[in-house]
A and B are shown apart, each in its own frame.
Chain A
């Protein structure tokens, strides 16, 4: 079992977000504790990506409160926002690798631009360490277009880890991958957790992934978290028809 502390690293209260008439988030409350893996589940289009994009300031909510590391994280001036962003890793749903750069350049890019006067040796060491961590050391000179979907996901994860973030946000790390690769990515998430001591939010549709990586589950339905708790609490005794449907769909189909 992991060591989960009682300290909240992320605290979300009463968060609302709409796009025109599309009311996506309608009063979201959520906590992330230090050292835990929190899995966020929900149907496509329920606003899971929107939620974590708000955390890193890619989107602004209409209403609500977000505290990260105990401090308000909304409406920060760009300098402070960037300070905060350096402590949060964001792994994109579609990897978002820079396709004009090699794998090495992809990994180096956030590093050399944010850590002033970092030595060449240290850069190389970190690149090597992270490629090792995601088990892809041989791809270092390849272009993203030469990688498979699963490899891209891992390089994307390595790139977000290179700044040693304290919080990791994974947007559907296993979407579109075969079951075996899924399990590998899930193992990677668990390993990252231990190796780099992160607290994470993992967004997924995939209950197997949730079970394997999550300490707690949170199910987003109609813009709110209807069920939050351990896997057993949330799913096995589920009464809410939509939560139940989610469970049944994944395991009976």
Chain B
């Protein structure tokens, strides 16, 4: 009774309260995914349709970016290697860089922008226009139909797209190497495969699965919890991109640490 609560305290405590509530909500959301993903009906058709959408949406941008990154990265690495007279190592260097880091990361970041935002916007607008409620009142589980399908689709598709990005980036690199060092396609790819191990490929697939899951679940979460009104939808799309990019970088760091621990164990 003798204390007078400072209004700043209450504002801060409200903010903290909101933050932890959000965290708990997000955790619940992820938990619900893992509960519902095993239960029938499995909605194969919807998952397939989403996979197609994701591929279709990301492919042009990923092709372009992957190809250019291959060329640019090769071109920029050449002088450093040339100092040691080691330009013949270019294919190996590029291969390691692309397979271990650039491929998964570039694919995930582009998809976060293209796919994550559109999932956030789509589900957000379904939320705002009560389409999600409409499913619920017709005894259809919207979480299953919307969230589980989209998240599964991104989880499957990012690794697939990642391999495609790797391939395109390596082709870009090959063109550059071929023109400068006159290396043939077969020699180039022999060097590429010699310098990467099973662990490299395995870990980048795992990493892409994690990235894909992140993009899907974050997009759905932000959409599902978007606030009323049209600006709510825009915010949801935007927040989905920002949040999933942030998480992707964190995950990249974590996975890199773990893989390096295994590699050098």
B231 at the interface (CB under 8 A from A): no
By the criterion CB–CB under 8 Å, are B134 and A96 in contact? yes
Q: How many residues of B contact A (CB 8 A)?
A: 13
Among A94, A97, A113, the most chain B Cβ lie within 10 Å of the Cβ of A113
**B125-156 interface bits toward A, Cβ cutoff 8 Å, 1 = contact, 0 = none:** 11001110110111110000000000000000
Contacts of A100 on B, CB cut-off 8 Å?
122
In this complex, the interface size class of chain A, counting residues with CB under 8 Å from chain B, is 20 to 34
A85-B133 Cα distance, complex, nearest whole Å: 12
Chain B residue, CB-CB nearest to A163: B138
**Chain A residues in 8 Å Cβ range of B136:** 57-58, 85
A196: CB under 8 A from chain B?
Answer: no
Contact indicator A98/B134 (Cβ below 8 Å): yes
In whole angstroms, how far apart are the Cα atoms of A86 and B126 in the complex?
21
B75-131 residues with Cβ-Cβ distance < 8 A to A are 122, 125-126, 129-131
A103 within 8 A of B: no
* B139 A90 Cβ-Cβ under 8 A: no
A77-98 residues at the B interface, CB under 8 angstroms: 82-83, 85-86, 88, 90, 92-94, 96-98
Q: Are B137 and A113 in contact (CB under 8 A)?
A: no
Closest CB-CB distance, A135 to chain B, in whole Å? 22
Residues on B with beta carbons closer than 8 Å to the beta carbon of A56:
137
Instruction: Report the bound CA distance from A83 to B125 in whole Å.
Output: 27
B46 CB to closest chain A CB, in angstroms? 11
Q: What chain A residues lie within 8 Å of B131 (beta carbons)?
A: 96-99
In the complex the two chains form, what is the Cα distance from A159 to B137 in whole Å? 12
Complex contacts, B138 vs chain A, CB 8 Å:
85-86, 109-110, 113-114, 159-160, 163
**How distant is B149 from chain A, measured CB to nearest CB, in Å?**
13
Which residues from chain A sit less than 8 Å from chain B, CB to CB? 53, 56-58, 82-83, 85-86, 88, 90, 92-94, 96-100, 109-110, 113-114, 159-160, 163
**Known contacts A85-B136, A92-B134; can you find 17 more A-B pairs with CB under 8 A?**
A57-B136, A58-B137, A82-B139, A86-B139, A90-B134, A96-B129, A96-B131, A96-B133, A97-B131, A98-B134, A99-B129, A99-B131, A100-B122, A109-B140, A110-B140, A159-B138, A160-B138
